[in-house]
Structure 1
Amino acid sequence: MIKEPYIFTSILGDLMVGYIEEQRAVGYKYTKGASLLKKLDQLIVKNNLKSKELPKELVYQWTAKRPNETESTQNGRISTVRGFAKYMVRLGYDAYIYPPRALTIERYSYIPYIFSKQEIKKIFDICDNYPISVYSPNRHLVISLILRMLYGCGLRISEAVNLKINDVNLTDGTLTIHNTKFDKSRIVPMSESLNKQCQLYVKEVHQFESKNPYFSHRHMVKIIMKALYINCLEK
């Protein structure tokens, strides 16, 4: 059982803990949901709720759209409180269940941008010629490698930067990705050229490092990605 990092102090706190445990028992990580329930717990304390119920007024106060908030963020709160209310009702408590017809999540509204071959070449040209820095001497190596992992292996940025040295098999030319959806792991093959670049990277960087367990320098990736984006816009 995953230890719950949040302390719930409202009158519904024990029910929230029970609901989180139930969600995790059926296979969900439920970390974001637990975080939202903690905020709902704080709202309940603020409203000084004295009985074990979830009144309609409090639910609508919790789910009301906030300034500059996206529908996706609002719908996250709605989904969480609906699930918790259903849990309470199943246990015999009085709880208002937010109407399902009001929960409209546009899952496919995102329109992807397809880079042209010229744009891809431009990106790689910039990262391959990234200037060497005395303050961050390996950044030109990191950015070139990370971009190729994203492009060649279809990794998420978080998956690429969280790779540890033991996750990169230079003999088989594979990457082991941990903690993906539903706590699964997967093995991703690398191209021969990417595997060779990883081998060169290890020789250049990791032969001088013994304490860093991560394959890339995680702390500098966000800074590098931002700088690369700016450079791509300017050129």
Structure 2
Amino acid sequence: MSNSVFMGPFKKEMEDFISLKRAVGYKYNTEPGILKRFDTYLVMNYPSTGILTKEAITGWCAKTMHETPANHCSRSSVVRQFAKYLDSISVQVWILPNNYYPSGQQYVPHIYTPDELRRFFTETDKCRYCYEHPYRHLIMPVFFRLLLSCGLRCSEARLLKVEDVDLESGVLSVLDSKNHNSRLVPMPDSMTTRMRQYAKEVHLFSQQERYFFPAFGEKPMTVGNIYKNFRRFLWRAGISHTGDGPRVHDFRHAYCIYRLKEWAEQDRDLMVLLPMMRTYLGHQTFNETAYYLRLTADVFPDIRLKLERHYKDIIPEMEELFYEAD
């Protein structure tokens, strides 16, 4: 569990709840912090209660002034799940109804055009040497291309170690990713060639446990550092950025969209290929992958009829999904 120490009337139940979540496969790294704040609230307002009332739950779950709808819903969802756990062990509790708080407008991924991708990667190739981060100019052109060419999550790429990258076969070992999922990810030949050239310059004498994309002090690159460089490349490439995107994660969306577009134009059998894509991306459910059928149809209207004609039993389901595939 995290370093959070619960002190309130449900401290044992919170500890047991976190242990249960992790036992069934969830990483549950950020949620304990939310429960700790809820625990502090209970200590201050309901220190001796043996039940969780609607007043207690909605009092803490109420939206704060500067909180985004997405963060508000995420925070409330943790308390809702905890309340459901309490109910399962016969504790008297009021359970926050599903969709009790509006989630606000859903984020629409930015799908880069071929011209935007060309301009963006041209700027990464211009990245200069920096004495504070001596490998930055070598990492950036490879790192962002890896996200796009293999559809990796940012965390999966930045936490790769030398031993996880098989440059002979061109296969990545993505270990203990989201939901403790591990998988093998073959790279395109062009990406494998780039990775080999990069490794010759950075990892000629590296130990196997070293991070493949090292930051200062042999640590992995931070999310903040990646995003800072990402924003700079976007600006120099003339790609507009707002508070809503584009995001680094949109390279993963672009990978899926362009792959599905290619398969659809080739009249490939997506009912065979979608399960393969699901495994390649590390999705847990089919709906996470099928999400991209709807997104592909929306981004490329010229192939919408082809997709809907052959996969009408899949695509309409996506209209009921209110989450973004990860």
TM-score band by shorter chain is 0.7 to 0.9
Quick one: distance in 1 between partners of 2:68 and 2:172? 35
* Paired residues, number: 232
The 1:150/1:21 distance shift into structure 2, 3 A limit, reads same
- Could you state the TM-score of these two structures normalised by the residue count of structure 1? 0.87
Amino acid in structure 1 at the alignment position of 2:137: H
Quick one: distance in 2 between partners of 1:228 and 1:21? 36
Are the aligned partners of 2:163 and 2:208 in contact in 1 as well (CA < 8 Å)? no
Measured after TM superposition, the shift of residue 211 of structure 1 is 8.9
Matched, 1:9 2:21: no
Name which of 179, 190, 197 aligns with 1:182. 179
The 1:60/1:166 distance shift into structure 2, 3 A limit, reads same
List per-residue Cα deviations over 1:119-147 (Å, max 9, x = no partner): 11111111112223344332111001101
Aligned counterpart, 2:265: none
Aligned counterpart, 1:39: 37
- What's the secondary structure of 2:221's corresponding residue? helix
Aligned counterpart, 2:228: 226
- Could you state the TM-score of these two structures normalised by the residue count of structure 2? 0.64
- What's the secondary structure of 1:14's corresponding residue? helix
- What's the secondary structure of 2:173's corresponding residue? strand
The 1:163/1:48 distance shift into structure 2, 3 A limit, reads same
Measured after TM superposition, the shift of residue 205 of structure 1 is 1.1
Are the aligned partners of 1:143 and 1:221 in contact in 2 as well (CA < 8 Å)? no
Matches within 5 A, 1:1-235: 3=1, 5-105=3-103, 109-210=106-207, 213-217=210-214, 218-219=220-221, 222-223=224-225, 225-235=227-237
Are the aligned partners of 2:51 and 2:93 in contact in 1 as well (CA < 8 Å)? yes
Specify every segment of 5 or more residues in structure 2 that has no aligned partner in the other structure, as ranges.
215-219, 238-326
Quick one: distance in 2 between partners of 1:12 and 1:191? 51
Quick one: distance in 2 between partners of 1:197 and 1:180? 24
Specify every segment of 5 or more residues in structure 1 that has no aligned partner in the other structure, as ranges.
none
The 1:34/1:61 distance shift into structure 2, 3 A limit, reads same
Measured after TM superposition, the shift of residue 173 of structure 1 is 0.3
Q: Identity percentage over the alignment?
A: 33
**CA RMSD for the aligned pairs?**
2.4
Measured after TM superposition, the shift of residue 179 of structure 1 is 2.1
Runs of 4+ that moved beyond 6 A: none
